[in-house]
Amino acid sequence: MESRILSFLNMDFDVFMIGTCIVMAVLLIALFFLLLDYLRLRKRYMEFMTGESGKSLEYTIYKRFREIDELKAGQKDNDDQIAIIYEKVRKCYSKIGIHRYDAFNVENSVSGGNMSFVLTLLNDANDGFILNTIHNRAGCHVYMKEVTNGECSIALAEEEKISLEKALHYGEKVSTVE
């Protein structure tokens, strides 16, 4: 008994049945691997949905959101503390100017040379002090002048002006091109 399809394909019935069996075997093998993948995926899905110790996914998500809220609160506390520290740092002395000089301007003297110095310390608001230390054979004398907004109410010596300018421009890059 020959069918029209087999006669159209010029195939024998036995060859057709062998080909169909081979295709069925390949499909069964593919089905087997798909079933294994399905079982592995189902197992992972069940673990994901129930958790390792039987906790639900909803509880796990709730816990994570609570942790995120705690982290945000901690971040706000950190930001507040950083702002407080920043305000304290602004009041600290952060600008320095120092100038060494010979108090008596005597060349080749044995009086000690450039042992005298002026030290200026300022904060971000340019408030601070100028400390002038004058060294001579008899001893060392220290004088202090207060600075407010980058200016001193007492007249400054040339060395003190140099030190104050250095402190006012502390941290700025100095251009050597004129």
**pLDDT level of residue 157 (50, 70, 90 thresholds):** very high
Mean pLDDT for the chain overall = 86
> Which distant-in-sequence residues (6+ apart) come within 8 Å of 161 by Cβ?
none
Residues 16 and 75 grouped into a single domain: no
Percent of the chain residues past pLDDT 70, beyond the cut: 84
Number of structural domains (the chain) is: 3
Residue 144: predicted pLDDT: 95
Q: Are residues 104 and 81 in the same domain?
A: no
Read off the pLDDT of each residue in 124-149 and give the average, rounded to a whole number.
92
Domain housing 28: 4-45
- List the structure tokens of 1: 């008994």
Q: What is the DSSP string of 70-101?
A: HHHHHHHHHHHHHHHHHHHHHHS--EEEEEEE
The answer to whether residue 73 sits within a structural domain is yes
pLDDT > 90 fraction of the chain, expressed in percent and rounded: 55
Distance, in Å, from the CA atom of 119 to the CA atom of 97, rounded to the nearest integer, reads: 6
Residues 103 and 137 in one domain: yes
Instruction: State the pTM of this model.
Output: 0.54
pLDDT digits (tens, 9 = 90+) for 52-87: 565 677 777 888 999 999 999 999 999 999 999 998
Q: Are residues 33 and 14 in the same domain?
A: yes
Residue 127 exposure: Cα atoms within 13 Å on the Cβ side: 5
Backbone angles phi, psi at 116, to 5 degrees: -85, 150
| Backbone angles phi and psi of 128, in degrees to 5 | 170, -140
Last residue of some domain: 33, 65, 89? 89
Would you state the structure tokens that stand for residue 141, as one six-digit string?
């004398």
Q: What is the pLDDT of residues 86-98, one digit of tens each?
A: 988 888 999 999 9
Give yes or no for residue 176 having a pLDDT over 90. Answer: no
Encode burial over 55-68: b for 16+ CB neighbours within 10 A, e otherwise: eeeeeeeeeeeeee
Give the pLDDT score at 178: 42
Q: Is 176 within a domain?
A: no
